[in-house]
Amino acid sequence: SSPLLSSPLLSSPLLLPSPPLPSPSLSSPLLSSPLLLSSSSPPPLLSSPLSSSPLLSPPLLSLPLPSPPLSSPLLSSPLLSSGPRTQTGKTAAGQTGKAVKAVKSGNTVTSTRYGKTGNAWSVVVKNRVPRAATSRAERIWPGGVIPYIIGGNFTGSQRAMFKQAMRHWEKLTCVTFIEKTEEESYIVFTYRPCGCCSYVGRRGNGPQAISIGKNCDKFGIVVHELGHVIGFWHEHTRPDRDDHVTIIRDNIQPGQEYNFLKMEPGEVNSLGEAYDFDSIMHYARNTFSRGMFLDTILPSRDENGIRPAIGQRTRLSKGDITQARKLYRCPACGETLQESTGNFSSPGYPNGYPSYTHCVWRVSVTPGEKIVLNFTTMDLYKSSLCWYDYIEVRDGYWRKAPLLGRFCGDQGPEGLVSSESRMWIEFRSSSNWVGKGFTAVYEAICGGEILRDQGQIQSPNYPDDYRPSKECVWRITVAEGYNVGLSFQAFEIERHDSCSYDYLEVRDGPAESSPLIGRFCGNDKPEDVRSTSHTLWMKFVSDGTVNKAGFAANFFKEEDECSKPDNGGCEQRCVNTLGSFKCACDPGYELALDKKSCEAACGGLLSKLNGTISSPGWPKEYPPNKNCVWQVVAPTQYRISMQFEPFELEGNEVCKYDFVEVRSGLSSDSKLHGKYCGTEVPQVITSQYNNMRIEFKSDNTVAKKGFKGHFFSDKDECSKDNGGCQHDCINTVGSYVCQCRHGFILHENKHDCKEAECKHKVHSPSGTLNSPNWPDKYPSRKECTWDINTTPGHRVRLVRYTHTWIQS
């Protein structure tokens, strides 16, 4: 007989692929269609609760519907959504509305249903062949596992909230959400024009959207939308809803009446569960109301005369949990454990567990952490290969994850450690033997010993904010004879000048006492790290306050290819890089096409006192993608001057594309005199030392005529003993001159200075007055006069009586 059609679940048979059971007893309250069982499992006793087996498919019905008139907004497809608001006026937050639009094309009726979740609307698009309701097994997510991707357009706080909503479902049911890897069918958190929308159940054959639009990014609303993904329709559309609520059509906004139509009996199946006023899938009382305080859905009074509250968006109700557990055949015992530490035991411990028991515990901790599981006691029936009563521990999120071990008897295993943040523990009994059972404890740890040549290390919960008060230690060991290379992909840790709060510490060796490479925090990615041995030690620490996204870093075994006898295959120079190497050439050469040999090129080392340089191809246009470096070296005590004549490069004052750089020194980080481009000829440039670096670069687009420059070297007599000058020595081309300070004049020997009469005649339009010997102390017994004469018709104004005048 058909079960009560009272739950907004999927209408089509959502059965896991499996052969039929032998004729089951119809005494089970859940049997309303043939139960199917996985061929990999022995048939359970029909007298035991069917909900205890995770392999049984839900007994859902799919009944044909009569062909409706085109004005009837049918719901028959598995897409339900919450999209943009389509009506005027306000509706209270947390309400859910429904609207349907039907269009006929041939034998297909496409109906669009709008539902409001929170402050956003939803849309249901359905394709239906009249009088044909197809049973489609792919609507249930196999094993209750739902892969997901979160689009890059969401903020860190939104991503964290989506994961919080998924963990809420996981905590209370046996549904599991995993980040997509290679799965064909998966959901994508995104933002579509519909606002908030989702397919109902598994669509199959690729990605399906769960759209979280503007103002929909609230915890309860996301939980609601995930309910559609799992397989739930809106509660108030059940065929039996008139026994529980009254629709007040006079209060409904004009044009929105179709939001309150009932679904046909063949579209839903309650699995024997009663109408749930408290369901997170239920509409609120004033959804689509003409006024905020007018009811459109009025719940019937209970035996105490009280109308139940409806439309909550806080958490899953007991009815939501029960229906989801039935839909996905969750085991009768066991649970999802999400705390960082915890314990669990077999049913009835220590007084013995019942026969034919099936329990599953799913441990899920923060991503980036591992799980350590220890059995503190174990007293199970012992058999060969643990065939009857046993515990299976798997390294992952479900029953097909890699097996860590199968255990029975009275000897529990040593501590079991997961490779990632999830662990599956399954207990089955099929004997009549009475034993105490078992108890187990687990703990989440981060860090650990890594014995691999490559991999990735992440802070706990990356890329979402790491948790407070964490301390994780990793010790990386690669093959002997290699070094450890560490390259950061992302880095965001609470900033502090001395990295005292949250930080990542890296040490060159296997222990905390090894030499410190660095302690890092802030938002700047650290430079690549290379150890000097085959081990590297890392520690991440967070305090109890500010949390950030954390870090992700790749590690790998690193070797110095340049230390090999063949110099890495390079003709001239080999430059070791992290994870690789590259060849380079001496000045005056450049890499050939094979990237190993060198050939003559522009640039080079010039040790002449004077000479000429020019861009490649001068006076024709220079080629693209050229990099020329000239290193000019003069004898000690000499200075080098560079004078450009023609000058024509691509670019303007920014010099972003093609340019010439002139530096005092020979390295690329020496003192920069200027970066030049365009058509303006630079002034004569004189080096500070006896060497100069001139570098020319061109990009791969516009080419110009280039440049030609003359350099000449001049001895700087002033660089030694101040040129013999008493006061100041001024270097000139080919010579030098001595110069005296204010209040002094040059002696006849052209080197010494003597006091001058302190009388000055000034005819310049502006200038500065200085006391004798400024800025040193003026001498005693001095009397100075300044006679300032300027152009007739002007007056002389002293500015700041100390030493400045301006013609006015």
Residue 224 is labelled as binding a ligand: yes
Say how many C-beta atoms besides its own lie within 10 A of residue 402's C-beta.
Answer: 10
Is 225 part of the annotated catalytic residue set? yes
CB 359 within 8 A of CB 427: yes
Collapsing DSSP to helix, strand or coil, 327 comes out as helix
Residues 580, 126: Cα–Cα separation, whole Å: 55
Residues 727, 296: Cα–Cα separation, whole Å: 99
Residue 800 is which amino acid? R
Residue 228 is labelled as binding a ligand: yes
Q: For residue 786, what is the enclosing H or E element?
A: strand 785-788
Residues 125, 36: Cα–Cα separation, whole Å: 30
CB 602 within 8 A of CB 628: yes
425 CB-contact burial (10 Å; exposed 0-12 / middle 13-18 / buried 19+)? buried
- Residue 530 CA: distances (Å) to CA of 195, 550, 567, 748: 48, 21, 20, 66
Residues 6+ apart with CB under 8 A from 420: 367, 370, 395, 396
CB 424 within 8 A of CB 334: no
- Per DSSP bridges, beta strands 627-633 and 604-606 are parallel
Residues in the chain: 808
Strands (E), 468-602: 471-477, 483-492, 503-507, 516-520, 529-530, 535-541, 550-558, 573-577, 580-584, 589-591, 598-600
Assigned token pair, 513: 């006492």
Residues 115, 228: Cα–Cα separation, whole Å: 12
Collapsing DSSP to helix, strand or coil, 725 comes out as coil
Q: How open is the CA angle 365-398-366, to the nearest 5 degrees?
A: 10
Assigned token pair, 321: 């949990």
DSSP string, 162-202: HHHHHHHHHHHSS-EEEE-SS-SSEEEEE-BTTBEEEESS-
Strands of 659-664's sheet in order across: 604-606, 627-633, 691-697, 659-664, 671-676
Find the largest Cα–Cα distance for the chain.
Answer: 129
Query: At which residue do the structure tokens 């059940």 appear?
Result: 238
Assigned token pair, 54: 């995770």
CA-nearest of 221, 190, 196, 224 to 208 is: 190
CB 668 within 8 A of CB 662: no
711 CB-contact burial (10 Å; exposed 0-12 / middle 13-18 / buried 19+)? buried
Collapsing DSSP to helix, strand or coil, 722 comes out as helix
Q: For residue 390, what is the enclosing H or E element?
A: strand 390-394
491 CB-contact burial (10 Å; exposed 0-12 / middle 13-18 / buried 19+)? buried
Which residue in the list 225, 494, 561, 648 is annotated as catalytic? Answer: 225
Give the distance from CA 433 to its chain's centroid. Answer: 52
Assigned token pair, 395: 């390294």
Residues 33, 51: Cα–Cα separation, whole Å: 15
CB 188 within 8 A of CB 158: no
Assigned token pair, 514: 């090894």
Collapsing DSSP to helix, strand or coil, 207 comes out as strand
Collapsing DSSP to helix, strand or coil, 565 comes out as coil
Q: For residue 220, what is the enclosing H or E element?
A: helix 219-230
Say how many C-beta atoms besides its own lie within 10 A of residue 694's C-beta.
Answer: 24
Binding site: which residues?
224, 228, 234
Q: Active-site residue numbers?
A: 225
Binding site for Zn(2+): which residues?
224, 228, 234
